[in-house]
Chains A and B, each alone.
Chain A
């Protein structure tokens, strides 16, 4: 069965620091990859997605992610975080055979002002 792992449970950064959150998945075939964000008290929102093409995808609010097929990874990055980026971040994968989306356990990001 497909699985998704996220390297860090809780990341604490100061404003303006750079961010990289790790995500690895287990399936070796064609996949669709997603990052969702959940701000405190809000619902899960799509941050960015990768289907095909350029492995570097850009999302909302200055986030980007790079798909590295050989490493089964889809790490999320942001060059300079803001206090408002404090949230929980979830990586998700959907393969072309299964119809459901498999989520990682999430990484809680705390940005100190």
Chain B
């Protein structure tokens, strides 16, 4: 399967612990997005990368959140000192920017569920 893959699919952690999620985008996609989704809500934008450069961050992304895409391929999203309010689905998506209108479409992975207890 050559879609967007995310790992782990589920994570249960104690409050105060750090967690890290990994996203592997569709091969050759140069843009990578992170979204957060809670039950009954639509995805909320967190941040996105073009290649290895982080170009935009939402105000939702507190100082405890950090994302990287060191080689312009996979990305990691780390949450430090987790809080119960961080419990959500963390979605990764990718697109191929710069190829005309088709670059305006993003494709999602299956998401990583985080439960903070």
Which of these binds chain A: B13-21, B67-75, B80-88, B102-110? B102-110
- Do residues B40 and A106 form an inter-chain contact, with CB atoms below 8 A? yes
Task: Enumerate chain B residues within 8 angstroms of A104, measured Cβ to Cβ.
Answer: 42
Q: Which of B41, B45, B58, B104 is in CB contact (< 8 Å) with A51?
A: B104
Residues on B lying within 8 angstroms of A by beta carbon are: 4, 33, 35, 40-45, 48, 55-56, 58, 91, 93, 101, 104-111
Are A94 and B104 in contact, CB atoms less than 8 angstroms apart? yes
- Residues of A close to B43: CB separation below 8 A: 44, 90, 103
Q: CB within 8 Å of B: which residues of A?
A: 4, 9, 32, 34, 36, 42-46, 49, 51-52, 90, 92, 94, 99-106
Task: Determine whether the beta carbon of A44 is less than 8 Å from that of B44.
Answer: no
A99-B48, A101-B33 known; A32 vs B41 contact (CB < 8 Å): no
Check if A51 sits within 8 Å of B108, measured CB to CB.
no
Chain B residues within an 8 Å CB radius of A45: 108
Q: Which A residues lie within 8 Å of B33 (CB)?
A: 100-101
Shortest Cβ-Cβ A-B pairs, 3 listed: A103-B42, A44-B108, A43-B110
| Interface CB pairs A-B, < 8 A, 21 | A32-B101, A34-B105, A43-B91, A43-B108, A44-B91, A44-B108, A46-B105, A49-B104, A51-B101, A92-B42, A99-B48, A99-B55, A100-B56, A101-B45, A102-B45, A103-B35, A103-B44, A104-B42, A105-B42, A106-B41, A106-B42
